Structure 1
Amino acid sequence: MKPERFDEGRFEYGESVRVTRNVRNDGTYPGLDVGHLLIRRGSVGNIIEVGTFLQDQVIFTVHFLSQGRMVGCRLEELISADEPWNPSRFEFRDKVICTLDLGVQGNVLVAKGTEGEVMKVIRDDALIQYHVAFREKMLQVPETALEPAHPETFTEPEF
């Protein structure tokens, strides 16, 4: 049993945490372009250091072993690895294809195999859905009806 924590706003050295937002290079990670995805939302790492930025922001250095990266995260970007997490397979801007005809009342709006782009991830209890832009149409599509458009370059998320 974990000891009761009186300092709820902090994680301790070695503690396993999950990042709740995609972490992109803000220019402080060397060797990669600004905006490059460093760590995908849902990835688990371990706290290796606690520091401050601009004297008033607590920054946790988290080692994501499976990605081979150490990045700084703010408290609001982290939850305990033990907390419930509803993972999504796709993220904003991922290219996807529909695996079946999508339509309303028998009218096909988007044919099976059409490529689209994820515009928003919708998390609801156990069901993940997405707003997907298919050419000039925006549809809300369940995760089960989508596959990666380019599977050879797609990285499956950690679950």
Structure 2
Amino acid sequence: MIEARTPIYQWGQKVATEADIFNDGSYPDHEPEALLVAAGSEGEIVQVGYHEESQVPIYLVEFPGGYVIGCFEEELRSERKLETVAGLL
């Protein structure tokens, strides 16, 4: 069994996207591959979960316009990252 990786971001934290985010089919009312969120767009983490198989954190981020999109850590950036020093979490 794979041990879950400690998230570096937390619920309620403001983040920005590292790259454009396109529709992967999650928004059927938009064209496939349509731009949903441009690189650098800011949003707020509304939930933190884990990818079931790999146990890496997935962040549900709410962006302006009402988009709530699941993002991996490498797709986000923030001024303030959660300290992951052993024993703090």
Q: What are the superposed Cα offsets for residues 45-66 of structure 1, whole Å, 9 maximum, x if unpaired? A: 00001112342142100001x2
2:33 match: secondary structure: coil
Displaced runs of 4+ in structure 1, greater than 4 A?
A: none
2:58 match: secondary structure: strand
The one of 42, 45, 55 equivalent to 2:40 is 42
The residue number in structure 2 matching 1:121 is none
RMSD: 1.7
Alignment of 1:5-20 (within 5 A): 9-20=7-18
What is the aligned residue count? 74
Aligned partners of 1:59 and 1:75 also within 8 Å: yes
Aligned partners of 1:39 and 1:67 also within 8 Å: no
Q: Which runs of 5+ in 1 are unaligned?
A: 1-6, 84-159
Deviation at 1:74, TM superposition (A): 0.8
TM-score where L is the length of structure 1: 0.43
The residue number in structure 2 matching 1:61 is 60
Which protein shows a greater Rg? 1
Q: Which runs of 5+ in 2 are unaligned?
A: 1-5, 81-89
**Which amino acid in structure 2 is aligned with residue 36 of structure 1?**
A
Deviation at 1:10, TM superposition (A): 1.8
Alignment of 1:1-159 (within 5 A): 9-56=7-54, 57-64=56-63, 66-80=64-78, 82=79
Aligned partners of 1:19 and 1:41 also within 8 Å: yes
2:43 match: secondary structure: strand
Alpha-carbon spacing, 1:45–1:26, altered in 2? closer, same or farther (3 Å) = same
Q: What are the superposed Cα offsets for residues 63-87 of structure 1, whole Å, 9 maximum, x if unpaired? A: 01x222111111001010x37xxxx
| C-alpha distance in 2 between matches for 1:23 and 1:71 | 9
1:76 match: secondary structure: helix
> Kindly, what percent of the aligned residue pairs are identical?
34
Deviation at 1:18, TM superposition (A): 0.6
Larger RCO (CA within 8 A; separation ≥ 6): 2
